[in-house]
Chains A and B, each alone.
Chain A
Amino acid sequence: GQNIDQPTEMTATEGAIVQINCTYQTSGFNGLFWYQQHAGEAPTFLSYNVLDGLEEKGRFSSFLSRSKGYSYLLLKELQMKDSASYLCAVRDGFSGGYNKLIFGAGTRLAVHP
C-alpha cells in the first residue's frame, strides 16, 4: 500500500531551526516533493529530491534517503510567516506515466515570537 507519515503538528520559536520528518512506503518512487500551504490557499513548491542527499535552497533544505524511505525538510532562521502546513509528497513511478503525487497528511508548523 501507499503510506506517507509526517508529524501532525510542531511548534518552534522565531529565529530557530526546525526539522520536519517524512517517512514513506510506496509502490513506486520517482522523486519526493515538499510543499508549503497556508490556510485556505493552494500549496506552493518548496523543494524536490530524487537522489540521496541534501538539497539546499536559501533558508530551506531537504534531505532524502531512498534506502530508508526517509526525508526531512529543514527550515532555518524561522520567521512568523513560516507558520503553515508542510506537505511531503512522493511521486509515484507506476501510474501509467502520469507521475501522480501521493501526499502525506501535512505537518502544521506554528512559529511563536
Chain B
Amino acid sequence: GAVVSQHPSRVICKSGTSVKIECRSLDFQATTMFWYRQFPKKSLMLMATSNEGSKATYEQGVEKDKFLINHASLTLSTLTVTSAHPEDSSFYICSARLAGGYNEQFFGPGTRLTVL
C-alpha cells in the first residue's frame, strides 16, 4: 500500500517550452501532496504544498507563476514548469501524505527534467 507514481520519469525539453509532471497516489487518497526539487548530491528542497480543491502554498523564493500546481482530485496533483530554462533542470519529486498513523509522506519515484 501507499504507492505514489510520477509521470514522466524523464523529460528533455527545449528552452521556453512548458512541461507538466503528474503525481498520483495509487491506493490511497491524499488531501495534501508536496513538490520538491533536488539538485545533485543535495537534499530535497520543498517547493510547494498542494491541497486538493484549493490553491497551493509556495515556499519563499519559489515563483508561483513559473511552477503551476493543480490538485484537482484526491489522487492527482500536477506541476507545470512554464517557459522552462536550463537552470530549471533538476530532479523533481512529489510526495503524498497518508492521513493517520505517522502521517508520513510517501514519495514518488521522481522526474528528471533536462532543459536544453
Contact = CB atoms under 8 A, between A and B. Distances in A.
Given A33-B104, A108-B41, A42 B109 contact: yes
Interface string B90-107: 010100010000111111
A105 B43 contact: yes
B102 A31 contact: yes
Nearest to B31: A98
Contacts of B78: none
A112 interface: no
Contact of A42 (B42, B93, B103): B93
Contacts of B57: 96, 98
B44 A41 contact: no
Interface of B: 32, 34, 41-46, 49, 51, 57, 91, 93, 97, 102-110, 112
Interface of A: 31, 33, 35, 40-45, 48, 87, 91, 95-96, 98-106, 108
Given A43-B107, A106-B43, 20 more contacts: A31-B103, A33-B104, A40-B112, A41-B109, A42-B108, A42-B110, A43-B93, A48-B102, A48-B104, A98-B49, A100-B49, A101-B46, A101-B105, A102-B46, A103-B43, A103-B46, A104-B43, A105-B42, A105-B43, A108-B41
